[in-house]
Amino acid sequence: MNRILRRGWKPTFAERNTLWVVSQRTFYASKWVRRLQLLNEKYNYRINAEDEAEYEEKKEDDQVEKIYPLWNSRRTGLLAYKVGCMSIWDVWGVKHAVTVAKVNNCYVLNQKNITKNGYEALEVGIGNMNVIKQSKNNIGNYIKRKLGFIHKIKEFKCTHDCFLPVQHKFSVRHFSPGQNLFISSTVKNKGFCGAMKKWNFSGKNASHGTESKAHRSLGSVSMGKTVNIVFRHKKMNTHIGEKNLVKCSNNKLFRINSLQNLLFIKGSIGGYKNKIIKISDAKGRAFNKFKDKIYLYYPTFIYKKNRKYKNVIDMPHSLEDPFLYNEIPLYEPTNK
């Protein structure tokens, strides 16, 4: 290097070759050529024949029997990964904001009944996780049930007649498009936050009347000597994050895609991307609204042998055009 910086230096034949290699560009003459190739590979891809298939067909029957629900029958829910948000246009051209959730390797792990556990529920697991991160008890249970190493396990309360066998794999057809769903998840952990961020308090004045550093403080918490206590449910500085459960009720299921195991749910859902969410049927009045209009499969959707099923199913659209308005004259002509 000192020889190169020295004035009047003449490189040798070997040094000329090394300098030529260093100064030479890579295989692509310009960096934009490679970027254009990457863009073409990303967006101008070819769709496989499986992705274009409109129908799917099963070669074996499911080992589940259909039941006729009673007045108190309650189905189980399932777990899914939140993928993200997007927009979908229906038949009439109305735009709907939906949240996409993926049901990836969701199985029934265990049945809990009244005699042993005191309540009726199903243990449902989703995803895969490395063996190193599993406990010994979980490894033994997974080997006993002949399943892979599950990422997350949750419980869903359901009645005894809607029990599903262990090792049953869930499909997105468990839910019917158009029905209302009850979804619960946790939001991203944000730590200990002040009252302005948690409860949207306005804060104190920036200059006048605020001598101490109390611009973002909580303010008065309670009264003086007359009560001398802090009332319950007072809005104060608290923790925001994983401990806070966000519940979304009455979200409609817009579309299902059984080929890619995707659920398209109308509205927003709490949680960040790749977060596990619990999805089950709506309860109360929302359930009674659609139970006569939309058919639900009890205990779940049952595949039949050598029968074709459509992969993408949308919710039933309205028969009337939402953009068609009655023609009202701007003025009423006077009778002559």
Q: What is the pLDDT of residue 118?
A: 93
CB 265 within 8 A of CB 98: yes
User: In this structure, what token pair is assigned to residue 215?
Assistant: 């611009």
- Count the neighbouring beta carbons within 10 Å of the beta carbon of residue 253: 24
pTM of the model: 0.74
- Count the neighbouring beta carbons within 10 Å of the beta carbon of residue 179: 21
**DSSP annotation of 30:** S
Q: State the DSSP string of 64-101.
A: -------TT-----EEEEEEEEEEEE-TT--EEEEEEE
CA dihedral for 164, 168, 169, 173, sign (positive or negative): negative
Helix (H) or strand (E) holding 253: strand 245-257
Q: Which of 324, 321, 325 is nearest to 91 (CA)?
A: 321
Residue by residue, pLDDT tens for the chain (336 residues) are 445 445 555 556 555 554 444 444 444 444 555 555 665 565 444 445 445 577 887 767 778 888 998 888 999 999 999 998 998 888 888 889 999 999 988 999 999 999 999 999 999 999 888 888 888 888 888 888 888 888 899 999 999 999 999 989 999 999 999 999 999 998 888 889 999 998 999 888 888 777 777 888 888 888 877 778 899 999 999 888 877 788 888 899 999 999 889 999 999 998 888 899 999 999 877 777 777 788 899 999 998 888 888 999 999 888 888 877 777 666 666 665
Helix and strand numbers (H, E) in the chain are 7, 14
Residue type, 321: D
- Count the neighbouring beta carbons within 10 Å of the beta carbon of residue 238: 13
CATH number for the domain whose boundaries are 66-189+240-314:
2.40.30.10
Q: What is the pLDDT of residue 208?
A: 79
Compute the distance between CA of residue 134 and CA of residue 198 in angstroms, rounded to an integer. 35
Q: Which of 247, 244, 241 is nearest to 278 (CA)?
A: 247
- Give 304's contacts (C-beta < 8 A, 6+ positions apart): 58, 61
Compute the distance between CA of residue 292 and CA of residue 234 in angstroms, rounded to an integer. 43
Tokens 């923790």, residue located:
239
